[in-house]
Amino acid sequence: MDSPSSPPSLSIAIIGAGIAGVTLAIALSEHNPNLSLTIYESRREFSEVSAGVGFGPNALKAMALISPKLIAAYDQVKTPNLWPEKDHLWYEFRWADTGKLVLQVESEKGFAHCNASRVHLLASLAAIVPRAVKVEFGKRVIDVWGSEDAGFGKGGMGKTRIRFEDGTDAFADAVVGCDGIRSACRQILLGEDEKSAHAVYSGKYAYRKVVQMRKAIEAVGPEVENRQIYLGKGRHLLTFAIRGGQMLNIVAFKDGGGVPWTQRQWVVTSSREALLKDFAGCGDTASKILELIDEPEKWALFNHLPAPTYAKGNLCILGDAAHATTPHLGSGAGCAIEDVHLLSGLLTPSLIQSATDIKCAFLAYDSLRRPRSQDLVRRSREQGHILQLESELPDLANGNREAWQEYLEREMDVNPRWVWNVDLEGMLVQARELFESIRQGEECAVDA
């Protein structure tokens, strides 16, 4: 039982045990030990889809501000460029047909970009989730009701109610949806009729595979040990080392030519023949890398349209549930870490004394994080067009190689540097000021 001077015990349900949800649990445990935290995950264990992930200086800054434990967890699984003299490079860009170097984009202010296996990163993060955090697997959310709704039954009054597919309920003072691009929480928050409630096909797809680095070096030489992107009209190929340099992550992106994605599944089994046909005309190096892939998986690339809000009452969404993006800036997971930094910085004992305070914090989080994260989604699609040499500019539309060289040297790093250069601490200060304003005003008297 709480003493009169101690803050009230508040509970938060985190929906989803991916990178975003697990990181949020760690952050909230660090910033507010008074919170009772439960993670609900639809799968039967901690698991991740996709192969590789990378973080820019913005994400590492957010990790450092949250907890040094996050940096340590990432350090255990990250892999840099394998040549020390190329530590300072983000990517090397080459023409897909000739293999000739187009440009090198340097990392920001000496930052050394690294990549990791998503599976290994999630395992490293899950290992540092405090024991006080409860984790329940096999819990697929189908509905969330706010505390103002009737019919909660004994024990649930005043709480937010979560209904699961297995027929069970849970109650919490607030709910944070971290349940990914197909987020049920997003659909519940925005409503089924809202156009932005569901992800949309971006018009591009990708073949993904992880292969042994040893075989890649035998095929194309040791340059593959460093991050490379091969540029072609309507397609591009990306490679980077993971798992300590033992494996090579390969992603081959292709424009869909305006053909809609009609299959229910977003990831389908493809064939080596279909892959090589899609990338016919690539040069020797790119083709040999692609030939390493047998039984490729074909991934439709979806993203979210801008949502009108990320928060409603005591429910909010975070990470891919809020702003799923295409991977062309390699910043989706990093943006989720930024979300966690700001939200956990609001949900501190000095600010949060009641469930109503959490609602105010969610509104401040929405106001500060939604513009930047939605801009990221837009910029990532824009970067995809740059990487696939798609432009309506007269000098570029005809494929003039010299014009493209000048354009790429001028534009290739504009969007990445926008991602990397963000004042996270200043954003949190603004969010806390807004929180105080909301709490003092009338906004918290009704649902946003």
What's the CA gap between 202 and 324, in Å, rounded?
11
- DSSP letters, 143-204, are EEE-TTSS---TTTTTSEEEEETTS-EEEESEEEE---TT-HHHHHHH-TT-GGGS-EEEEE
Each residue of 79-136: pLDDT tens digit?
999 999 999 999 999 999 999 999 999 998 889 999 999 999 999 999 999 999 999 9
Q: Tokens for 348? A: 């501190």
Each residue of 188-212: pLDDT tens digit?
999 989 999 999 999 999 999 999 9
Which residue type, as a one-letter code, is found at position 230?
A: Y
pLDDT of residue 49: 67
> What DSSP state is assigned to residue 233?
T
What angle do helix axes 19-31 and 57-66 make, rounded to 10 degrees?
Answer: 40
Catalytic residue among 94, 118, 186, 208: 208
Each residue of 253-266: pLDDT tens digit?
999 999 999 999 99
Q: Tokens for 154? A: 């004994």
User: Under DSSP, is residue 336 helix (H, G, I), strand (E, B) or coil?
Assistant: helix
User: What's the pTM value of the predicted model, to 2 decimals?
Assistant: 0.94
**β-bridge mates for residue 290, sequence order:** none
The question of whether 214 is a catalytic residue gets the answer: no
Could you tell me the pLDDT band of residue 8, with boundaries at 50, 70 and 90? Answer: low
